[in-house]
Amino acid sequence: MKMMKINTTLNIIKNIKSLIKFSDEKNIFFLYFSNEFWKELLNYNIEPNLNSIYNCSELRETFIEYYELVMKIFRDRKKFTIKNEAISYYERDEFAFRLDQKIREYINNNKEIQNIEKLQSIKKYNPYYNEEKYYSNENKADADIFNLFDLKNIDDDFVEDFRNMNFEKIFEGNIMEYINKLTSKIKDNVDFELIIKLINIKNINEKNIYLDSLNKKYDMIIKPKIESLTGDQLNQAIKVIANIALINFMFEKEKKKSLIL
């Protein structure tokens, strides 16, 4: 039954794309798909699995092609039902909302998924974290997405991919939420070093917010224990202190530079 749904959806998408291409080439509108039609297709793929996520992503791409065709064919028609419907559904973007929901549910339901796979699914399929219009204007990005990741299972590949996502820019309009969410995951010295690696300070304008959050965590976690630490734990704590000192230095240097200018 699931395979039939997958094949049916992909066949429908293929046929719609063919009609869109033909209409575009002839510059004549040969098709009309109501908002209910798109909604029904979306509801046909409700399972929180990779196939359903892929189908939703393909449906969204197909709808956007349809929307662009409508806007092209009816560009001179200010008030027209087909055009108005396409605009309203494009602005509502139920596909993006469903993709965000499905990806979160899929990850939560499958505990064996590795952190790197979680990050890749968000990067590839979740518009809220890879399309600028959502984090620059509508702030659809939600810092709770980071609850899906386990700091105890992070490697260098994950750190590199995470930094390449530029979450600091995605959350630029609500940088405090982003920083507080990540620093709230710090429970020990190892977590401290990981968070410092994950957050790209160069992308943060309000460095004082980041610095304050790190200093508070230092006061809570490392400072009370520093005298009792030995061996590897002490070395780890020294690394953290050195990193915080470096961030403090960078912040002060940048602040003095801005005052001079």
Domain assignment of residue 75, yes or no: yes
* 260 and 163 fall within a common domain: yes
pLDDT 10s per residue in the chain (261 long)?
344 455 688 899 999 999 999 999 998 888 899 999 999 988 887 788 999 999 999 999 999 999 999 999 998 887 889 999 999 999 999 999 999 999 999 999 998 999 999 999 999 999 999 998 888 666 788 999 999 998 888 889 999 999 999 999 999 888 999 999 999 998 887 888 888 899 998 898 888 888 888 888 878 887 776 766 677 776 776 777 777 776 766 565 555 554 444
State in Å, rounded, how far the first CA of the chain is from the last one: 66
Q: Which residue, 47, 82, 110, sits at the end of a domain?
A: 110
CA dihedral defined by 172, 177, 178, 182, rounded to 10 degrees? 160
pTM of the model: 0.84
* 106 and 6 fall within a common domain: yes
Q: Which residue, among 118, 114, 145, has the nearest Cα to 50 in the 3D structure? A: 118
DSSP structural state of residue 101: H
Domain assignment of residue 251, yes or no: yes
Range of the domain at 256: 156-261
Diameter over CA atoms, the chain: 78
Look at the chain and report how many structural domains it folds into: 2
Q: Angle 50-73/35-43 helices, nearest 10 degrees? A: 170
